[in-house]
Amino acid sequence: MDIFNLTMNKVFLNLGKQPLANSFLTNVKKKTLDQEFFYNLKICFNTKNFLVSIQKPVNPKKQYTDKYAHRASESKTMRSAFKLVAKKLHKRFKPKKIMEIGSNDGVFLKNFDKKSVIAVEPCKNLAKITKKRFKTYDEFWNLKLSKKIIKQKKEKIDLIFSANTISHIPNLKETFMGINNILSDKGVLVIEDPSLQKVIKNNSYDQFYDEHVYVFSAIAIQNIVKNYGLRLFDVEQISTHGGSNRYYICKNNSKHKNTLRLKHNLISEKFLKLNTIESYKKFAKRVLSSKLRLVKLLRKLKKNNKKIISYGATYKSTTVFNFCKIDTRLIDYVTDTTVNKQGKYTPGMHLKIIAPNEGINNHVDYAFLGAWNFKKEIFQKEKMFLKRGGKFITHVPKVMIIDK
């Protein structure tokens, strides 16, 4: 039986009409707004393989273009996280050949010797950056590309790394077949993606947007990879992107032993009932109540003439703003450090994005934490804002005002 049997997909959450999370607009002229693309963001649970996914994913060719805005090396937190994991993986597996699927601007690969690495990145603007230093394939990952690389390089890969990418690829069958094809017998695939356990615990429904076709659990990953001759042997909980899992996967017959850590993770996911539809139905109720509370709070503050902005033009906040219908009536503008987001408008709700040095001024009373996953880094940076009485608003794990 097909493990992706779509008739087993049960919708539990409807996040409404949504734009592409990274489709920042250059202007808000009628013609531009008329052409804006929207789709229905419905989330479902597969009762056969326990995979949580978007019911109807958007075509990747619409998403990963030469205008892709996200730069992994923008944040200090991510730069040091990638440096640390590169060191750790090198020590644990001593790989000779390394490949990254979704290498973005090379923030992970730059920690390795350039002769030993291969980058795969379909966004041409990003691939152009890594091409200067590494062998880069500016193509979508699939079985065909794995065959092409083997033919050209005449060797297999010992370490495949992929952070925040596998969960973006609708066709998991092709993805894992390609990986199995190119992975050496002793090789290891390491993937990092937002953790479903954390999403459910933190009510962080904004992890669902067009690019996150899947939000994985260890239970689901274990079920999926075994169909492609692969085995999940370890999983590590990490703090990046608001709580992610780092999955360690090898070939079925490889010597890597299943770890105790994997066993414990699977137990805690089963304890949370991530393998039953009931927990997702309860989650959907909590999401709806989060929406009502957030809108109520913003309206109340606005009524009291408070100036509210948003901090970080994240993809996640695209989901929040469009689901909760938060526009310029509630939030004045968004600040973001990413130069190529500045001067643009957020998808769907069309809030202006400006540079933090301009936007975080003495008139701001509240800042919605769009980048709640960087709370620590942001609180460090915004000591002055907090000192003069500025406050943040978050919806994770529940809607509240915070100043520490």
Output the smallest distance, CB 255 to ligand TYD, in A: 36
Comparison of 103 and 335: residue with beta carbon closer to ligand TYD = 335
Comparison of 335 and 394: residue with beta carbon closer to ligand TYD = 335
Comparison of 79 and 128: residue with beta carbon closer to ligand TYD = 79
Output the smallest distance, CB 384 to ligand TYD, in A: 14
Contacts of 272 (CB under 8 A, 6+ apart): 197, 200, 201, 279
204 within 8 A of 96, measured Cβ to Cβ = no
Q: Please report, as ranges, the residues that interact with ligand TYD according to CB under 6 A.
A: 70, 74-75, 312-316, 335-338, 341, 371, 373-374, 377-378, 381
Comparison of 84 and 339: residue with beta carbon closer to ligand TYD = 339
239 within 8 A of 84, measured Cβ to Cβ = no
Comparison of 316 and 350: residue with beta carbon closer to ligand TYD = 316
Comparison of 156 and 168: residue with beta carbon closer to ligand TYD = 168
| Burial of 123 from C-beta contacts in 10 A (0-12 / 13-18 / 19+) | buried
Comparison of 165 and 223: residue with beta carbon closer to ligand TYD = 165
Cα separations (Å) of 400 from 179, 392, 394?
A: 43, 8, 6
User: Which residue's C-beta sits nearest to ligand TYD?
Assistant: 312
DSSP code at position 390: -
Residue 368: name the closest of 328, 316, 309 by CA: 309
Q: Which two tokens stand for residue 237?
A: 């909980």
Comparison of 220 and 313: residue with beta carbon closer to ligand TYD = 313
- Length of the chain in residues, anyone? 404
Output the smallest distance, CB 377 to ligand TYD, in A: 5
21 within 8 A of 37, measured Cβ to Cβ = no
174 within 8 A of 144, measured Cβ to Cβ = no
Residue 161: name the closest of 141, 143, 147 by CA: 141
Output the smallest distance, CB 305 to ligand TYD, in A: 26
Cα separations (Å) of 346 from 28, 326, 357?
A: 10, 11, 19
68 within 8 A of 126, measured Cβ to Cβ = yes
Contacts of 195 (CB under 8 A, 6+ apart): 215, 216, 217, 237, 243, 244, 245
Output the smallest distance, CB 21 to ligand TYD, in A: 7
Output the smallest distance, CB 69 to ligand TYD, in A: 8
Output the smallest distance, CB 202 to ligand TYD, in A: 14
Amino acid code (one letter) for 287? V
Output the smallest distance, CB 1 to ligand TYD, in A: 35
d(CA 214, CA 197): 13
Output the smallest distance, CB 375 to ligand TYD, in A: 9
Comparison of 241 and 350: residue with beta carbon closer to ligand TYD = 241
